[in-house]
Amino acid sequence: MSDAGMSKIVKTMTGVCFPFILIFGLYIIVHGHLTPGGGFQGGAVVASACAMILIAYGSIWTMKKIKEKHLSIFESLGALMFISLAFFGIFLADGIFFDNFLVKGAFSFFGLFANTATGVADINTAGVIPLMNIAVGLKVIAGLFAIVLVMAYATHKIKEVDDQ
Amino acid sequence: MFEQILTHAPALAVAIPLLGAFLTPLVSKINGKLRNVFVVIITALTSFIVALLSYNILAHESVKFAPDLVKNGIQTYIFGAGSAGDPVVRIVFEVDGVNAFMIILAAILPLAAVIYSWGFMKDETGQDKYYTLILLLTAGMLGMMMTGDLFNFFVFLEITSIASAALIAYRVNNKFSVQAAFKYIVVSTIGALFVLFAIAILYGQYDALNMAVIAKSIQYGLLDKIALILLIVALAMKAGIAPMHMWLPEAYGRAPSSVTVVIIGTTLGSFYGILRVGFTIFGEQIISESNLEVGIALGWVLVGLAILTIFIGVLMALKQNDFKKMIGFAAVAEIGYMVLAFGAALATMYQDSVTGITGISSSGLTALKGGMFHILNDALDVSLLFLVAGAVYYVSKESSLNRLGGLARNMKYTTIFFIIGLVAVSGLPPLNGFASKLMIYQSTYEINPILAIVAILCSILLLATFVKVFYAAFLGPKLPKFENVKEVPKSMLIGMLVLTCVIIFIGLFPNLVVENIVTPAVTALQNASAYIGGI
Amino acid sequence: MSFIDSLSQLYETLNTDSGFWNPLVWITAFVIVFLIIYIIRGYGNKNYKKNTEQTKAFLSGNPEFEDKEKMHVKAKNLYWGFNETLKGLYKLLDRMHNGNTSDFILWFVVILGIFFIVLGVL
Amino acid sequence: MMAFQIPYLAVAGLIIIGLYAVLFKRNLIKMIIGITLIESGVNLFLITLSFREGSTAPIYTSSPGGPMSLPVPQALTLTSIVIGVAVLALMLSLVIHIFKHYKTLDVRKIREEDN
């Protein structure tokens, strides 16, 4: 991986593929409670799409576009969302930490649990679980991309020092 | 009010530091000072809840705040469903006497560390990440000490490993701290993976992850034996028992002092894991007539390892010239004393010829109490010494004892704290180290005099070690390069004072602590059936 | 158990199996002994004078160095005899503590093996 | 019945190869690969525990019916994989720093000197 990025062909193809991978990853996150997958898996897919951009365009260019600082804010927000959803369980519904307060009690916007028989399930049947999946997804996207980004940048820095 | 908090206390004790950890980066975007206040408040709140929880479990029935919550000395908390849920398939926190004892440590150590870091970390960069990781470490430690679920234990173990490794490498410009962190993460990952392997074996056998459920149905077949060995040895490596202790002095020595204090808590959390596995999960199998020989053999192996640990720790500490590495080796020796007590207790198991009931003899019981008491004392004493070492590093930027000297002339309070730590850790009367070591000496003397002699001898060598430090760093003429050294900032002094006060309190009233905190813990430790009945 | 009861526990003696330990009694005894020594000291010779040869440390007749660094015995020189006597043992310990990560894990495997043999799995 | 044993043999093989790499390889990166191998072995063990012959994936949506394999070990494996990723990332970034300081990846040279 050169620091300036790869050839024009690779860059163009990355641009073409990126939205599709993004959509696929987001699909996995949002449908985590119905199909295989969830926050971590979908987040890893999205983060790998971001890593693809990093490889195609090089770490310096990517560092200019997005800072590790901003990613860490997203990461905190994701984790915060997750833990606050768990905390809401104490204050609402039955008053238990990690309670699924959206499927019962006064805040039951989201009806019932998914039908336990086989067949097609609705997306709004799992209460807080999809929301938690989204929170985890946010954290994983930001976290994994930050790791890859910082590592790429650090190796580039070491190379720079070695060259001198 | 208290009852409301206490209902959720096991969950809150983990959730509040977690919430604090994730809020810290956002708060520190606003202001550095605000962040420090925020972190101290979060830690103090956690400590308060933990102390409340611990009090409610250990206190006598009539003075409890919420006696309904505690059944048989055990409070359970089922995540996600409350009392309506089936505890077998859900994540459960089960806090009994042992847990209530261990979390006292987790209440004191991070509080002292966080107050101390206010001054200690003043000039460092990346403090938001530092505080995030400290809070994460606290949450992981508390989770480890309260969970009633084996897999959850593994998860918290890994959380603490990752957070501590990142904190050990906090000073990335120092090559020694980076390599110490690498060694720590390799050792703890491999340990944790073997723990997971053992958990998987148990899960495959009994189709449960809940400790109580596994303990209820456990047999003592070949696979269970393998799981037992893997769990004990892997956790022993994480607890720093010789000859698997080599990571410990390096990790303790190279981490910033405030971090070391919290890592001591997690190391003792791993030690708690050994106790839980040995006495609760396999308790009814090990302490039973059919496996009496095996239990005694296990006890003697532990005693052998303990003697080795004490010996190596003390001898290496005597030779070290690095302040914090020396305390690290002393910490290894202190862990050896605990293992000695617990191993000796197992080795005294006997079968009553009349009733046919197997049990631990009365000297074994004293050993158990002494060992349990020593967990608390060791954590406090060693932590205080590390904080003093950090204070010395803070003023002199020097960790080698060869280049230190005459600091007592400028740092009165730090010197006093060091003397208190020295007296406590080397088991001199009247401080806390003596009380617990006395119990260990006496009980091991009744089991085998040689053990007690080795223990006392090594304690004397430990004193010699710290007298050397005291002489080399604090006494002697005022060195010209330390002419302008000043006493450390107030927050650091307060951090040390917190620990010192607890040490002196335990030292002056050992019976109070033993009767009210240690004895319930030992009773709970032996009473595996109560833990099983908690679910 | 009332609050008064728990207060009375403050000065109770810690009974270990065949002995006991009460720091408050110990401290009282210590203070009394200290007072006696202090009284005896009061009867001592009072011809001590400040800022004379009397106050200087006696270094076996050697002169005191001007350089403070040279006056301080460094940590590596303390317990020289002890280290010299146990040289063989320390060589062994140093070889054990070689700081090689692979060796840490090797010890883990060795202890695992010992436990397997003791508990009769192998 | 031999076919049932193959995954367990693979588990043992993975763990032993991983331990071999950790114990006898001198390159830090190879040691890390060894650790990941042990981790894969343990994960494979968990997954193997959950599988029954002829069972399908434990998803209710449009499932063909019939027995399903146990979902709990799969959840455990997933958690363990997530932790593994975090540990791996941490170890690799520490290795980057170690290389910066020591200019080598030989495990025998990565150690403290007395000062």
- Evaluate whether chains C and D are touching (3 or more beta carbon pairs less than 8 Å apart): yes
Over residues B156-202, the pLDDT tens digits come to: 999 999 999 999 999 888 889 999 999 999 999 999 999 999 999 99
Tally of helices (H runs) and strands (E runs) in chain B: 21, 4
H/E stretch holding A56 reads helix A39-57
What Cα–Cα distance (Å) separates residue A2 from each residue in A52, A155, A159, B188, B472? 13, 11, 11, 35, 53
| Cβ atoms of A30 and A123 closer than 8 Å | yes
Report if residue A152 sits inside a domain. Answer: yes
Contact between chains at A35 and D92 (C-beta distance less than 8 A): no
Average pLDDT for B467-489:
86
Q: Which of D39, D42, D91 sits opposite B185 (nearest CB)?
A: D91
Mean pLDDT of B245-262: 92
Q: How many CB atoms lie within 10 A of CB B489?
A: 16
Q: Are A34 and A114 in contact (CB under 8 A)?
A: yes
pLDDT at A1: 47
Question: What is the Cα–Cα distance from D81 to D91, expressed in whole angstroms?
Answer: 15
What pLDDT is attached to residue B88? 77
Domain architecture of chain D: domains with CATH: 2-54+68-102 (1.10.287.3510)
Backbone angles phi, psi at A98, to 5 degrees: 70, 20
Going by the DSSP 8-state scheme, the letter that residue B240 receives in this structure is T
3-state secondary structure B158-197: HHHHHHHHHHHCCCCCCHHHHHHHHHHHHHHHHHHHHHHH
Q: Tell me the pLDDT tens digit for each residue of B135-152.
A: 999 999 999 999 989 999
Q: Is the dihedral of CA B518, B522, B525, B528 positive or negative?
A: negative
How far apart, in whole angstroms, are the C-alpha atoms of residue B253 and residue B22? 28
Q: What is the pLDDT of residue D28?
A: 93
Classify strands B92-95 and B358-360 as parallel, antiparallel or unpaired: unpaired
Q: Where are the alpha helices (DSSP H) in D26-109?
A: 28-50, 71-102
pLDDT band at B291 (very low <50, low <70, confident <90, very high): confident
Query: Looking at the domain assignment, is residue A3 inside a domain?
Result: no
The single-letter code of the amino acid at B307 is: I
Interchain pair C73, B472: CB under 8 A: yes
Q: Does pLDDT of A92 surpass 90?
A: no
Determine the Cα–Cα distance for residues D104 and D98; give it in Å rounded to an integer.
8
Candidates C111, C114, C118, C121, partner chain B, best to mutate (most B CBs within 10 A): C111
Cβ within 8 Å, pair B79-A98: yes
Distance CA(B362)–CA(B354), nearest Å, equals 17
Contact criterion met (CB < 8 Å) for C105 and D111? no
Q: Per the domain annotation, does A2 fall within a domain?
A: no
**Out of A83, A95, A97, whose CB is closest to B22?**
A83
Mean of pLDDT over chain A? 82
Nearest CA-CA partner of B234 in C111, D31, D88? C111
Cross-chain residue pair B400–D115, CB shorter than 8 Å: yes
- State how far residue B407 is from chain C, nearest Cα, in angstroms: 12
Give the mean model confidence (pLDDT) for residues B253-265: 93
Say how many CA atoms lie within 13 Å of B27 toward its Cβ: 23
Asked if A87 lies within 8 A of B15 by C-beta distance, the reply is: yes
Whether A25 maps to a domain, the answer reads yes
Minimal CA separation from C73 to chain B, in Å? 7
Instruction: Give the model's confidence band at A113: pLDDT under 50 very low, under 70 low, under 90 confident, else very high.
Output: low
Residue B298, pLDDT above cutoff 80: yes
How far apart are the C-alpha atoms of B456 and B446, rounded to whole Å? 14
Q: Which chains touch D (3 or more CB pairs under 8 A)?
A: A, B, C
Q: Give me the count of residues in chain D.
A: 115
pLDDT for D34-75, tens place per residue? 999 999 999 999 998 888 778 887 776 666 777 888 888 888
The end-to-end CA distance of chain A, in Å, is 20
Q: Say which residue, B349 or B238, is predicted with more confidence.
A: B238
Q: What is the pLDDT of residues B418-472, one digit of tens each?
A: 999 999 998 888 888 899 999 999 888 888 899 999 999 999 999 999 999 998 8
What are B2-34's pLDDT values in tens digits?
A: 888 888 899 999 999 999 999 998 898 888 899
Tokens of B158: 């890994």
Give phi and psi for B288, each to the nearest 5: -150, 160
Give the residue from B167, B250, B176, A160 showing the smallest Cα distance to D101: B176
What SS3 state is found at B224? helix
Whether B385 and B327 have beta carbons less than 8 Å apart is answered as: yes
Q: Which domain holds residue A129?
A: 8-163
Residues of A with CB under 8 A from a CB of B: 72-73, 76-77, 79-80, 83-84, 86-87, 89-90, 94-100
Residue range D3-14: mean pLDDT, rounded: 87
Residue A56 lies in a domain: yes
Structure tokens at C27: 């401290």
Please give the average per-residue pLDDT across A17-37, as a whole number. Answer: 89
| Interchain CB distance below 8 Å, D100 and A155 | no
Distance, in Å, from the CA atom of B53 to the CA atom of B65, rounded to the nearest integer, reads 10
Tokens of C22: 């009460």
Number of domain units in chain A: 1
Contacts of D108 in chain C (CB under 8 A): 100
Q: For chain B, say whether D28 makes contact (Cβ under 8 Å).
A: yes
Tokens coding D60: 């209710």
CB contact under 8 A, B185 and D90: yes
Indicate whether A114 pLDDT > 50. no
Q: Mean pLDDT, chain B, as a whole number?
A: 89
Q: Which of A114, A144, A150 sits opposite D60 (nearest CB)?
A: A114
| Residues 6 or more apart whose Cβ sits within 8 Å of residue B203 | B150, B151, B209, D46, D49, D73, D76
> Looking at the DSSP assignment, which residues form a beta bridge with residue B351?
B358
CB contact under 8 A, B442 and C112: no
Of C23, C74, C116, Cβ closest to residue B507 = C23
Dump pLDDT digits (tens) for B123-134: 888 888 999 999
The predicted model scores a pTM of 0.93
Q: Please, do chains C and B touch (3+ CB pairs < 8 Å)?
A: yes
Counting beta carbons within 10 angstroms of the beta carbon of residue B112, is it exposed (0 to 12), middle (13 to 18) or buried (19 or more)? buried
ipTM of the complex: 0.92
**pLDDT computed for residue B257 by the predictor:** 92
Asked if B199 and B516 count as a contact pair (C-beta separation under 8 A), the reply is: no
Determine whether the interchain pair B12/A95 forms a contact, defined as Cβ–Cβ distance below 8 Å: no
Summarize pLDDT for C12-30 with one digit per residue, the tens.
778 776 778 888 888 999 9
Contact (CB<8Å) D107/C102? yes
B187 contact C CB<8A: yes
Examine the pLDDT at B269 and tell me if it is beyond 90.
Answer: yes
